[in-house]
Amino acid sequence: MSERYEVIVVGVGGMGSAAAYHLASRGVDTLGIERFDIPHKQGSSHGVTRIIREGQYEDPEYVPLARRSYELWRELEAETGRDLLYVTGGVDAGPPDGEVVPNSKASCRAHDIDHEVLSGAEVNERFPGYDIPDDHRAVYQPESGFLVPEQCIIAHVEAAQAHGAQIRARETVTDVTEEADGVRVTTDRGTYRADEAIVTAGAWAREFLPSLAERLVPVRQVLAWLQPTDPPQYDPDVFPVFIHETETERFYGFPQFDVPGFKFARFNHFDEEVDPDAMPREPRREDEEMLRAYAERHFPTGAGPTMRLSTCLFTNTPDGHFVVDAAPDRSHVTVGAGFSGHGFKFASAIGETLADLALEGRTEREVDLFAADRFGGDRGV
């Protein structure tokens, strides 16, 4: 006989742990299943720090979701007693005619977000760890900062369990099948049934979503931590998180926190599409050399000895926006996937939204941007 639940969450990382919490906090009989540990380092929700910011250069439509995320992270901190969100300020920098700076400025102005527009020289003077080109511009948001992803997942899981959720780790889902009265979820350990399923399996989500499989593309990502030669310049109280658009690339980074070194990375690294079960997990020399070259140019006092390198995964959609919706061609499956390297900050609100969609078929959040049916017939939009 199989066990029966109201909702099964497939994948208990950043998004799945939040969905399990929001379901359980509403009294829903919830099962979360994770193939790896909780938390783990195989997917997209690890690496010590993740940026959070209110203004969104990707699209102003993200701003209400970002504001709700801030509220929910603070509520989760209060409920669990864990420190999850640190405010450092944040810099969105790049050429004045690029994408990041004009779009960040427009997003802040459209939603009346506190911000300053600075020249590259002004950024460097205010934050001595930086060496942004003088002719670049920056949008500084004082309320930006970072989340601690592993602690966020732990907090959501523990809170979900406190509300009665069952969470099972090291159990691999092999199939999600719709039945007349709900879904059947098969794993390497057993079979479970539920009224609804939520798939938040990151790079593995496409295994259960054939209609979206070609739109969810895993990309290998590498993170670097280098020891600053002037460590005080990289402390969280004087070094804001950043997004930096160069002439050809985009990078992001953080102050020193919890582990040795100044952390940064290039979005999509080498644009290397991978099978998440077969990707090279060990960082390579060329990974380090590319990242170090960037730090030496733009954060020279942060480019000391290498302290740590780590791989993770982005799961990209063709347009870089998320998929948060009912799964196409499924009546009882909701999907949260394709977060394209900029989703973790929203996990608290995405979890709430997924719970809404699974239970009610609708949500108060504005999610038209994330519709599952927006893609064309090929991997283009």
Listed in order, the ranges of the chain carrying CATH 3.50.50.60 are 3-45+150-213+319-370
- The whole-model pTM stands at 0.97
Q: What is the mean pLDDT of residues 331-336?
A: 97
- Let me know if domain 90-142+217-316 sits in CATH 3.30.9.10: yes
What's the chain's average pLDDT? 96
Helix (H) or strand (E) holding 11: none
Residue 329's pLDDT band (boundaries 50, 70, 90)? confident
pLDDT digits (tens, 9 = 90+) for 33-43: 999 999 999 99
Mean pLDDT of 282-286: 97
Outline which parts of the chain fall under CATH 3.30.9.10.
90-142+217-316
* 246-266: pLDDT as tens digits: 999 999 999 999 999 999 999
| 276, 301 Cβ separation under 8 angstroms | no
| Separation of alpha carbons 22 and 106, rounded Å | 32
pLDDT average, residue stretch 162-179:
98
Region 373-377: mean pLDDT is: 80
Which of the four pLDDT bands, split at 50, 70 and 90, describes residue 344? very high
The pLDDT value given to residue 378:
46
Tell me the average pLDDT across 113-124.
98
The CATH architecture assigned to 3-45+150-213+319-370 reads 3-Layer(bba) Sandwich (3.50)
What's the CA dihedral at 180, 181, 186, 189 to 10 degrees? Answer: -140
Mean pLDDT of 289-309: 98
307-327: average pLDDT = 98
User: Sign (positive/negative) of CA torsion 139, 127, 311, 353?
Assistant: negative
pLDDT class of 377 with cuts at 50, 70, 90: low
Reported as a pLDDT band with limits 50, 70 and 90, residue 380 is very low
SS3 167: strand
List strand residue ranges (DSSP E) for the chain, in order.
3-10, 30-33, 50-52, 85-87, 90-94, 116-119, 137-141, 145-147, 166-168, 173-179, 182-187, 191-199, 217-226, 241-245, 250-253, 262-266, 306-316, 323-326, 333-337
CA distance 375 to 289: 36
